[in-house]
């Protein structure tokens, strides 16, 4: 009996390391108590047994609903560093992403402030546990449309640290050539290109006209509220000139499409 108690204690300790384990532990405990109660069901009256029956029926449905809500709305909080095969690799991954985002947001003659650095760390920590994956599928593949891709090297490195990969297009026509061949989890685009100062909207409008609902985000020179609003009016998902904000918006959108 002592061995069984010790084994259960070890199992409970391991399950309590992250939210998913806590949910599983709670289910085990509740049904353990329910089993004890049902073993003595003969001593209960019919009116006393009815609430227990309703509980045993509704509890799994409630747990499933809560789990679905957590996965869809708070997937980044479901895992702990220990869920990775190597916690050192997890820490190194986060450090690399933070470094890349810091480089992407730093101005040529203005160092990143302590407040900005703290915000970067918070963003990476919030998204990091829900690493978007790896492999060759479309779910971790992003199309980046920009006629000057060298300007976005550090931003792409930050995304790649999360397991994302990229295809680059220098123009709207080239973007549609790639879209005709490959499905993407998201599209990032600049606004003004050689084709025109509002070429980003040309790309977005054409996408939506053709029925393509791939999330699209503008990484352009403006972060003004009116431009964010105009982006939404055209059917886009976001507009920013801030690498941190872009990183958070895109990774969350990609994570949200993992179950598509």
pLDDT tens profile 160-192? 877 788 999 999 999 999 999 999 999 999 999
Helix (H, G, I), strand (E, B) or coil at 90: helix
Instruction: Report the mean per-residue pLDDT for the chain.
Output: 74
Distance of CA 229 to the CA centre of its chain: 23
Q: How far apart are CA 21 and CA 18, in angstroms?
A: 5
Residue whose tokens read 């799994």:
60
Mean pLDDT of 198-205: 97
Mean pLDDT of 7-32: 62
Quick: pLDDT tens for 246-260: 888 888 888 777 655
Write the CB contacts of 234 (distance below 8 Å, at least 6 apart in sequence). 201, 204, 205, 208
Ranges of each domain in the chain: 2-73, 85-256
Model's pTM, two decimal places? 0.57
Quick: pLDDT tens for 102-136: 555 554 444 445 555 455 555 555 555 445 555 55
β partners of residue 205: none
Q: Which alpha helices (DSSP H) does 106-224 contain, by range? A: 114-127, 153-160, 172-181, 199-209
Quick: pLDDT tens for 130-143: 455 555 578 889 99
Quick: pLDDT tens for 53-90: 777 778 777 877 776 776 555 555 555 555 555 444 44
What is the pLDDT, as a whole number, of residue 141? 92
Nearest residue to 164 via CA among 254, 257, 256: 254
In this predicted structure, the answer to whether residue 24 has a pLDDT above a threshold of 90 is: no
**Alpha carbon distances (Å) from 241 to 105, 158, 161, 174, 227:** 9, 16, 20, 23, 11
Task: Yes or no: say if 142 and 110 are a contact pair by the CB < 8 Å rule.
Answer: no
Nearest residue to 218 via CA among 194, 190, 177, 198: 190
In this predicted structure, the answer to whether residue 94 has a pLDDT above a threshold of 80 is: no
In this predicted structure, the answer to whether residue 16 has a pLDDT above a threshold of 70 is: no
Percent share of the chain, pLDDT over 70:
55
Q: Choose which CATH entry (3.40.50.2300, 3.40.640.10, 3.40.50.11810, 3.40.50.720) describes domain 85-256.
A: 3.40.50.2300
Sheet with 165-169, side-by-side order of all strands: 165-169, 141-145, 186-189, 216-219, 238-240
- Give the sign of the dihedral formed by CA 239, CA 241, CA 242, CA 243: positive
Helix (H, G, I), strand (E, B) or coil at 55: helix
**Which band of pLDDT confidence, cut at 50, 70 and 90, is reported for residue 217?**
very high
User: What are the respective helix, strand and coil percentages of the chain, to the nearest 5?
Assistant: 65, 10, 25
């Amino acid at each position: 009996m002592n061995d069984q108690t010790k084994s259960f204690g070890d199992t409970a300790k391991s399950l309590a390391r992250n939210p998913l384990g806590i949910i599983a532990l709670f289910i085990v405990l509740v049904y353990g108590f329910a089993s004890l109660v049902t073993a003595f069901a003969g001593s209960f009256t019919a009116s006393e047994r009815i609430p227990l029956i309703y509980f045993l029926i509704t509890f799994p449905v409630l747990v499933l609903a809560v789990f679905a809500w957590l996965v869809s709305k708070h997937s980044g909080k479901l895992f702990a560093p220990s869920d990775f095969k190597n916690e050192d690799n997890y820490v190194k991954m986060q450090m690399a992403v933070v470094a890349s985002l810091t480089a992407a947001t730093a101005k040529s003659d203005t160092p990143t402030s302590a407040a900005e650095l703290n915000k970067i760390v918070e963003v990476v920590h919030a998204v990091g546990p829900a690493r978007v994956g790896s492999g060759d599928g479309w779910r971790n593949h992003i199309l980046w449309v920009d006629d000057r891709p060298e300007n976005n090297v550090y931003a792409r490195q930050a995304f790649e640290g999360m397991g994302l990969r990229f295809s680059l297009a220098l123009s709207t026509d080239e973007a549609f050539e790639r879209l005709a061949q490959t499905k993407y989890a998201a599209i990032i685009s600049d606004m003004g290109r050689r084709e025109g100062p509002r070429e980003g909207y040309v790309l977005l409008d054409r996408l939506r006209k053709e029925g393509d609902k791939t999330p699209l985000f503008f990484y352009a020179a403006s972060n003004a509220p009116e431009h964010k609003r105009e982006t939404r009016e055209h059917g886009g998902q976001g507009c920013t000139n801030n690498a941190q904000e872009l990183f958070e918006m895109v990774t969350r959108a990609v994570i949200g499409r993992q179950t598509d």
